[in-house]
Structures are given as C-alpha cells and as structure tokens.
C-alpha cells in the first residue's frame, strides 16, 4: 500500500478496508493534506514498515491508539509535519522498532505520553521530537 493516497485530497471512508495482510504502509497518506478518515479499527498487526505513513497529512487526527504495531520496525517520519495529530499512543508496543528518526518532527500539536514505550531496539532517534513545542511528557 506504499504511497496509495500520496499527494491527493482524499478524505473518504476506509473503515471497511481489510488491511490485515498488508506489511508495508510507507508513505500511504504522504501529503494527503485533507485526510482524516476513520481508520481506527484497522488491523495493522502484520505491518512492519510505517515510514512516512502520515507525513504531511496536515488534517490527520484519528484515534489510532489501539492499533497493534508490535511488528513494526520502521517508524521514520511516521507523523512528521502531521500538524493536527495529538492522540494517545502510550499503549503501543514499539519494542521491535529500530528506526524512529523524526517520527514526530514538526508534529506541532502532539503532546502524547510515550514514556511507556520500550525503545531498547531503536538505533536511530535523531530529531524524533524536533520542533514539537507542545510536548510536555516523555
């Protein structure tokens, strides 16, 4: 599903999509500036790559806190420039992630508590929270 909705104005209903066999969602909503569709109940348990998934998705602010991201290894730039995103992700199991470079870079509204995250396998965290003025708790 790489870059499926990249550079579009799409904001439709994807709640019935079965994504349970998808492994790569990189840049899926890249620059989909209006996207804020209901994807809360997606089964993303098999996804390993979420790099840039919501990068520049300026309107995105859906509660995806119950997603099973336990197999994801790459979250590089996942929410970079997603300026409206501010959801609780503290229950995410990110213990397999190795790359979190710029994950929340310039996600201006983000103030989620990620203090419970196991980041012991992460080898790249550069700029993870850079330009996130609202962040209070890590």
pLDDT value at position 48?
99
- What total number of domains does the chain contain? 1
Tell me if the pTM is above 0.75: yes
Mark the ranges of the chain whose per-residue pLDDT is less than 70.
137-138
**Distance, CA of 75 to CA of 5 (rounded, Å):** 18
**Distance, CA of 25 to CA of 39 (rounded, Å):** 13
pLDDT value at position 135?
82
pLDDT value at position 83?
97
Residue 75 domain boundaries: 1-138
pLDDT tens-place string over residues 107-133? 999 998 899 999 999 999 999 999 998
pLDDT value at position 137?
67
The CA dihedral of 130, 25, 73, 86, to the nearest 10 degrees, is 40
Residue indicated by tokens 């969602």: 25
> What residues contact residue 25 under an 8 Å CB cut-off, 6+ apart?
1, 2, 19, 44, 47, 49, 50, 53
């Amino acid at each position: 599903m790489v870059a499926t909705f990249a550079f579009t104005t799409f904001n439709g209903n994807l709640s019935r999509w079965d994504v349970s066999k998808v492994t790569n969602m990189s840049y899926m909503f890249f620059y989909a500036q209006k996207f804020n569709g209901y994807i809360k109940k997606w089964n993303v348990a098999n996804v390993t790559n979420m790099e840039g998934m919501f990068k520049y998705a300026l309107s995105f602010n859906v509660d995806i806190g119950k997603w099973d991201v336990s197999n994801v290894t790459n979250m590089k730039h996942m929410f970079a420039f997603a300026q409206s995103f501010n959801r609780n992700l503290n229950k995410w199991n990110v213990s397999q992630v190795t790359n979190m470079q710029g994950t929340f870079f310039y996600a201006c509204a983000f103030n989620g508590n990620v203090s419970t995250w196991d980041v012991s396998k992460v080898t790249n965290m550069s700029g993870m929270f850079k330009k996130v003025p609202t962040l209070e708790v890590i």
